Amino acid sequence: MNHSPDRQSVASMITSHSDWSERDLIHQTLEWHRATRENAFSEQHQSIPCRIPLTERITPVRTALPLEQIDGVVRPVWMRRLDAEYLNLMQVTKDRVDVTDYGAVGDGKTDCTLAFRLAIRSNRRVVVPKGVFIVRGIRLPSNCILEGAGQDITILKLSDRAPKHRRLLRNATPFAGNHHIEVSHLTLDWNVDRLGDVKRTTSGDTTSSALTFAHVTYGWVHHVTAKNAGLHAFDITAPHYHYLGDGLRAANGSRYVHLNHLEATNYGDDGITTHHSDAIYITNCYCHHPHGRTHASGFSNSNGIEIDDGSRHVTLVNNKSEACFGGVEVKGHGTSSAAHDVHIFGHLSVHDNRSFNFRHIGHHLADDPNSETARFLSGTNLVSIKPVRSSLYEKSSPRSLVVSAYQDVFIHGLTAIGDPTYDYKHHPALAIQYKSRRVQLKRISVRGFTTARADLELFGGDHRTDDVTIDDLQCQESAPIALKIGRQLEQIAIQQIKGQKKSGDVLISTKSPIDAQELLAYGFSDRVRSDV
């Protein structure tokens, strides 16, 4: 078992591979965040009437929450509130009980479901010692702590008799809602092998996950491993998923949840995911090697971390993903709202198919409606190491970065490292495309994508990107074209493009008029070429 790395080890891994100084990056990103929030997303709370039951309207998008830096670490300002609520939880859970006092036996054989049901009550700290405890599902009420003896020491395993739809651990009353719940220092084993050789390992909607917080206010999950899940390892969500259109989302989502030092592995869909929820903080987590059997074979959108439909005000700091479809995917389905106000500070993606994938499905092409919700997204100090094709999603080309449909985007300090011996089949390493707008790329370093068409491509045509600013792009012994620009783009500002490659083709190939300054080309035949 790979242990979830602590903050220092994740941060040090990112630092060892990044070509940029984290201190400089964070300061400038926080300045951009403050200015953009004050200019376009100045409201912190928004209430728009909706006549549809169990549904919220979230358009026009005007909300964002402030960020701060404490001891060198970025965090949302609302964490002050969550810290205060944690003190309240400590006060009301002084009654400490051990599940073995209620008959639980950690022998990996005995069904301990009844013992857990008897032990778990509101206003209790429930302790689970070393062992493997078989259960048919656990439900946690409000004002409750479930605490193991260690991430690989205490294991809660779903019984072989549990149905496919069963969640291993969830809050007790998702429709009424729960509050003040903490889970820590244990492993959750959903036991997917009990299903045998089935094609799909989930029953749909929010079922079949290892841990589900649905309609939870004030939640803490830390030092927990979730493995062998049918759907998600960790899902922070509303009681149901919601597909009634862009601008709408499910009511009763979760709020104020901190996920810290988690590991997710061998899951069906996503390692950590959020839906229809606000104010989520994800730190120091490691998501890797999904089995992908939630979806049809070869079409598995199994991500390390996915910030999905209707999520708002999500901050991610110093996480790692490996061997997933997407390392971090921020998105919305075509019949739902995209996530917005999402900000990533430090992420290491290793051998994911698409390291950083930002999109709103169904809002990409010229005939598609424009997204009303794909707004306000940033990624700072991102590292992509050798993206590859994957059996999870066989037709997807490997890329370090894809931005589609999102507006008000800042990518600041991206290090993309390709494999010079790998066949990237003439696809670009980084792609800005599909009606994305107001995209800023600053301090981008690319190397090793020798068989790619271009290191960075701005796609043109009827569903083109536009209003793109590029400042400090460095390409070292990589693709034959450093920057490729499609047709019909109107607002492109470029400065400080540096490329070095033996027998390079051209530094910038463009089909649109551009304003380019400070271009340095070493080994390329041309600096700028018009390919109209």
At 351, is the secondary structure helix, strand, or coil?
coil
Q: What digits encode the pLDDT tens for the residues 406-422?
A: 999 999 999 999 999 99
The torsion of the CA quartet 349, 353, 359, 364, rounded to 10 degrees, works out to: 150
Burial 466-491 (b: 16+ CB within 10 A, else e): bebebbbbbbbbbbbbbbbbbeebee
Mention every residue, 6+ apart, whose C-beta is less than 8 A from residue 388: 351, 353, 398, 419, 422
Q: How far is CA 364 from CA 29, 189, 333, 459, 465, in A?
A: 27, 38, 11, 12, 10
Domain ranges of the chain: 1-37+58-76+190-381+396-415, 418-455+465-532
* Angle between the N-to-C axes of helices 7-17 and 22-40, in degrees from 0 to 180, rounded to the nearest 10: 100
Distances (CA, A) of 453 to 415, 443, 447, 498, 522: 18, 21, 13, 17, 18
For the domain made up of 1-37+58-76+190-381+396-415, the CATH class stated in words is: mainly beta
> Would you say the C-alpha torsion 77, 82, 85, 86 has a positive or negative sign?
negative
The pLDDT tens digits for 451-507 are 999 999 999 999 999 999 999 999 999 999 999 999 999 999 999 999 999 999 999
**Which one-letter DSSP state was computed for residue 393?**
B
* pLDDT above 70 as % of the chain: 98
Handedness of CA 97, 98, 101, 102 (dihedral sign): positive
- Name the pLDDT band for 448 (thresholds 50, 70, 90): very high
pLDDT score of 6: 54
Q: Where are the beta strands (DSSP E) in 398-455?
A: 399-404, 407-417, 430-433, 437-447
Element (H, E) at 358: strand 354-360
pLDDT averaged over the chain? Answer: 96
Residue 207 reports pLDDT greater than 60: yes
The lowest-confidence range among 45-54, 193-202, 366-375, 381-390 is 45-54
Question: Which of 487, 485, 459, 460 is CA-nearest to residue 473?
Answer: 485
pLDDT for 320 equals: 98
**In the predicted structure, residue 152 carries a pLDDT above the cut 70:** yes
What residue ranges in 232-336 does DSSP mark as E strands? Answer: 234-237, 248-250, 255-265, 272-274, 278-283, 286-288, 305-307, 312-322, 326-332
For the entire predicted model, the pTM comes to 0.97
**Contact present, 209 and 169 (Cβ < 8 Å):** no
Q: Is the pLDDT of residue 326 over 70?
A: yes
For 509, the enclosing helix (H) or strand (E) is: strand 492-510
Residue pair 511/487 in contact by the 8 Å Cβ criterion = yes
Lookup: tokens for 358: 């930002």
Higher local confidence (pLDDT), 5 or 374:
374
Residue 517 pLDDT: 94
Closest by alpha carbon to 13, among 332, 385, 474? 385
Confidence of residue 8 (pLDDT cuts 50, 70, 90): low
pLDDT band at 49 (very low <50, low <70, confident <90, very high): confident
Q: What is the DSSP string of 2-14?
A: PPPPPHHHHHHHH
Residue type, 504: G
Confidence of residue 45 (pLDDT cuts 50, 70, 90): confident
pLDDT of residue 1: 44
Give per-residue pLDDT as tens, 333-359.
999 999 999 999 999 999 999 999 999
pLDDT of 156 reads 98
**pLDDT digit string, tens, across residues 101-115:** 999 999 999 999 999
Q: State the DSSP string of 194-240.
A: GG-S-S----STT-S-SEEEESEEEEEEEEEEEES-SS-SEEEE-SS
Q: How far apart are CA 447 and CA 475, in angstroms?
A: 6
- How far apart, in whole angstroms, are the C-alpha atoms of residue 287 and residue 487? 38
